[in-house]
């Protein structure tokens, strides 16, 4: 192979390595992008669900907000209490009541503005009377009484009004055209001329002018309208009266731009604000219902549409009722079809479940039989394990004690041996004989052995004395001297609890006769509550590890 060929091979390998690095980088970038998109989708869904839950919680408190609204209206109405309220005050207060009722109970709003107009006429105040008539025209348009509203506006000449009156007049005419178009979608009337007239009388930097400009841009320049509404939302927060209308406009523009999730979020915010302020012109709630319907969430869409229809009936604001009833019919049909599909799926599921239940019952019977057999084996095994464990613990304790006792007695024997050797070496035979004949050391060692036994046994069975006494009659219970751990009677049964049941071995340990052990056992059995099972109950006294 030539040098040139080798160099080409090395270059080719370097190129392959670079391509591998680029491929890995692209793969990692793609994965990160997918994760980021998935995270943003999940976060958006989570935020929407939170707003939806908040809307449902707000609806649950609707009566509370209605009571607040009624209390606020009652506070204004109380200003008219009394026998001699001036007509100027009657006009002012009824105009305030009109504004409170306008989007709450339109019939009450009309009644209030009629009283305000009558008071203005009694005062001879034509300006106030015309303003009341214009307001009444707005209320009549809201409850679909368009001919009456048109008749009122036709009888008013805009030239006879001041700039504020003309602004109100053109707003009323714009409302008339827009509400009529909403009530009869096939007969579209252009309200642009009226909106242009409204613009002429609005302050250039006023809130109303800015909202009107943004709303007029929405059909042709949605992006520009979105910027304007976003600026307004930054100034007017959720606690402001304007928030419900601004969020509704912003949601509509977002929907036009194709931002479905953002539109739903802001319609939800607007609906929440409407319910909190007890506004019954619930356009946003109906928009939420339709968007949920499009997402296949028919039950929630149905509930929200029912609430919208209820608000229409309570408020009398009916210019959008035709659209709402159409939506109600569409959603009801979809919900009915979904329920029928669910019913068919349920029947199929029930049939499969019934068959599965039969199979399951058969398997359960077989398993139950096997489990009973296993349970019996486990119980027997547990008993053996407990016995083995208990014997192991006892064995370990006594082995340790055995070594300790052996060591102790070796030391004692060594000491005794040395002592006796000294006496023998000193030829003190009389003392040596006395020491060898004395049994004090034997008695001391025996007592020490019993104390060790009592101590170790009560560590293994700390409740032995109490449990033992519970097996005896109240007047026959064992009473130990102060400082004593066990006595001879208790030691007999302590040894039995350890598994030493032979009376001979027990007598050997306790340094007494077999008949003495037998007499003790007979005497205690006679003092027991249950004589037949007394010694069996003794064997059931729990060790420390079972407590």
Query: Residue 57 has which token pair?
Result: 């919680």
Note the pLDDT tens digit of each residue in 460-482: 888 888 999 999 998 888 888 88
Whether 25 shows a pLDDT value over 60: the answer reads no
Model pLDDT, residue 4: 45
Dihedral, CA of residue 206, residue 209, residue 212 and residue 218, to nearest 10: -90
Model pLDDT, residue 242: 87
Closest CA to 490 of 466, 514, 474: 466
Whether 240 shows a pLDDT value over 60: the answer reads yes
Look over the chain and give the mean of its residue pLDDT values, rounded to a whole number.
82
Integer CA distances (angstroms), 118 to 17, 106, 112, 129, in order = 92, 18, 10, 8
Query: Residue 480 has which token pair?
Result: 């130990």
Please give the model's pTM, rounded to 2 decimal places.
0.57
Instruction: Tell which phi-psi region holds residue 156, choosing left (phi > 0), alpha (psi between -120 and 50) or beta.
Output: beta
d(CA 539, CA 542): 8
Model pLDDT, residue 454: 85
Whether 403 shows a pLDDT value over 70: the answer reads no
Closest CA to 183 of 67, 321, 312, 89: 321
d(CA 546, CA 540): 11
> Average pLDDT for residues 230-247, to the nearest whole number?
89
How does DSSP assign 48-78, residue by residue? HHHHHHHHHHHHHTHHHHHHHHHHHHHHHHG
State the DSSP code for 523.
H
The answer to whether 180 touches 141, Cβ cutoff 8 Å, is yes
- SS3 (DSSP) at 547: coil
Model pLDDT, residue 116: 93
At 154, the pLDDT band (50, 70, 90 cuts) reads very high
Note the pLDDT tens digit of each residue in 155-173: 998 888 888 888 889 888 8
State the DSSP code for 543.
P
State the DSSP code for 473.
-
3-class DSSP string for 93-124: HHHHHHHHHCCCCHHHHHHHHHHHHHHHHHHC
The answer to whether 245 touches 237, Cβ cutoff 8 Å, is no
Question: Residue 309, Cβ neighbours under 10 Å: how many?
Answer: 16
Query: Residue 368 has which token pair?
Result: 């139950």
Phi, psi angle pair for 283, to nearest 5°: -65, -40
Note the pLDDT tens digit of each residue in 426-462: 777 777 677 666 655 667 777 777 888 888 888 888 8
* Region of poorest pLDDT, from 61-70, 178-187, 305-314, 443-452: 178-187
d(CA 451, CA 458): 11
At 82, the pLDDT band (50, 70, 90 cuts) reads confident
At 35, the pLDDT band (50, 70, 90 cuts) reads very low
Whether 296 shows a pLDDT value over 60: the answer reads yes
Note the pLDDT tens digit of each residue in 312-341: 898 888 888 888 888 888 888 888 888 888
Helices (H) and strands (E) in the chain, counts: 22, 0
Note the pLDDT tens digit of each residue in 83-114: 788 999 999 999 999 999 998 999 999 999 99
Angle at 119 between CA 132 and CA 201, to 5 degrees: 25
3-class DSSP string for 166-220: HHHHHHHHHHHHHHHHHHCCCCCCCCHHHHHHHHHCCCCCCHHHHHHHHHHHCCC
The top-scoring range by mean pLDDT among 44-53, 274-283, 445-454 is: 274-283
At 9, the pLDDT band (50, 70, 90 cuts) reads very low
At 399, the pLDDT band (50, 70, 90 cuts) reads low
> Average pLDDT for residues 362-371, to the nearest whole number?
89
Q: Is the dihedral of CA 201, 203, 204, 209 positive or negative?
A: negative
Question: Residue 373, Cβ neighbours under 10 Å: how many?
Answer: 10
Instruction: Tell which phi-psi region holds residue 82, choosing left (phi > 0), alpha (psi between -120 and 50) or beta.
Output: left
Note the pLDDT tens digit of each residue in 117-140: 999 999 999 999 999 999 999 999
The answer to whether 298 touches 337, Cβ cutoff 8 Å, is no
Burial 474-496 (b: 16+ CB within 10 A, else e): eeeeeeeeeeebbeebbbbbbbb
Whether 193 shows a pLDDT value over 90: the answer reads no
Closest CA to 285 of 309, 316, 262: 309
d(CA 286, CA 299): 14
The answer to whether 22 touches 30, Cβ cutoff 8 Å, is no
The fraction of the chain above a pLDDT of 90, given in percent, is: 27
Whether 396 shows a pLDDT value over 80: the answer reads no
By CB atoms closer than 10 A (0-12, 13-18, 19+), residue 121 is middle
At 507, the pLDDT band (50, 70, 90 cuts) reads confident
Helix ranges restricted to H, 321-439: 321-425, 429-437
At 15, the pLDDT band (50, 70, 90 cuts) reads very low
The answer to whether 248 touches 238, Cβ cutoff 8 Å, is no
């Amino acid at each position: 192979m030539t040098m040139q060929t080798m160099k080409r091979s090395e270059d080719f390998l370097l190129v392959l390595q670079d391509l591998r690095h680029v491929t890995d980088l692209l793969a990692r970038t793609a994965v990160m992008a997918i994760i980021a998109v998935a995270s943003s989708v999940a976060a958006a869904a989570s935020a929407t669900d939170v707003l939806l839950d908040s809307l449902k919680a707000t609806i649950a408190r609707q009566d509370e907000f209605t009571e607040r609204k009624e209390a606020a209206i009652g506070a204004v109405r109380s200003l008219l209490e009394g026998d001699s309220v001036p007509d100027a005050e009657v006009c002012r207060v009824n105009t305030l009541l009109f504004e409170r009722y306008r989007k709450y109970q339109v019939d009450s709003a009309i009644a209030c503005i009629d009283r305000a107009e009558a008071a203005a006429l009694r005062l001879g105040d034509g300006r106030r009377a015309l303003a009341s008539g214009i307001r009444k025209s707005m209320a009549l348009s809201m409850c679909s009484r368009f001919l009456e509203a048109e008749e009122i506006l036709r009888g008013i000449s805009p030239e006879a009004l001041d700039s504020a009156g003309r602004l109100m007049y053109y707003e009323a005419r714009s409302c008339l055209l827009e509400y009529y178009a909403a009530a009869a979608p096939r007969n579209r009337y252009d309200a642009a001329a009226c909106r242009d007239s409204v613009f002429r009388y609005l302050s250039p930097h006023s809130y109303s002018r800015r909202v009107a400009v943004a709303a007029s841009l929405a059909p042709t320049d949605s992006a520009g309208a979105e910027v304007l509404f976003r600026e307004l939302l930054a100034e007017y927060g959720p606690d402001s009266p304007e928030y419900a209308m601004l969020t509704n406009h912003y949601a509509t523009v977002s929907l036009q731009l194709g931002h479905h999730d953002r539109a739903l979020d802001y319609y939800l915010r607007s609906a929440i604000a409407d319910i909190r302020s007890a506004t019954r012109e619930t356009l946003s709630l109906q928009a939420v219902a339709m968007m949920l319907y499009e997402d296949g969430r028919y039950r929630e869409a149905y509930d929200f549409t029912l609430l919208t229809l209820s608000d229409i009936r309570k408020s009398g604001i009916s210019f959008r009722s035709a659209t709402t009833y159409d939506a109600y019919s569409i959603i009801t049909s979809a919900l009915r079809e979904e329920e029928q599909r669910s019913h068919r799926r349920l029947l199929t599921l029930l049939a499969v479940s019934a068959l599965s239940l039969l199979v399951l019952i058969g398997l359960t019977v077989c398993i139950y039989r096997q489990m009973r057999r296993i349970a019996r084996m486990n119980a027997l095994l547990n008993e053996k394990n407990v016995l083995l464990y208990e014997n192991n613990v006892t064995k370990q304790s006594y082995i340790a004690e055995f070594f300790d006792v052996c060591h102790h007695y070796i030391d004692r024997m060594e000491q005794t041996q040395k002592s006796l050797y000294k006496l023998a070496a000193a030829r003190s035979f009389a003392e040596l004989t006395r020491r060898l004949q004395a049994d004090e050391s034997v008695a001391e060692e025996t007592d020490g052995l019993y104390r060790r036994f009592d101590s170790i046994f009560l560590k293994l069975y700390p409740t032995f004395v109490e449990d033992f006494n519970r097996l005896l009659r109240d007047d026959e219970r064992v009473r130990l001297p102060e400082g004593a751990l066990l006595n001879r009677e208790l030691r007999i049964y302590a040894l039995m609890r350890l598994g030493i049941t032979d009376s001979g071995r027990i007598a050997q340990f306790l340094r007494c006769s077999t008949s003495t052990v037998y007499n003790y056992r007979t005497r205690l059995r006679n003092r027991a509550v249950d004589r037949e099972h007394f010694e069996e109950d003794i064997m059931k006294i729990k060790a420390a590890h079972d407590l």
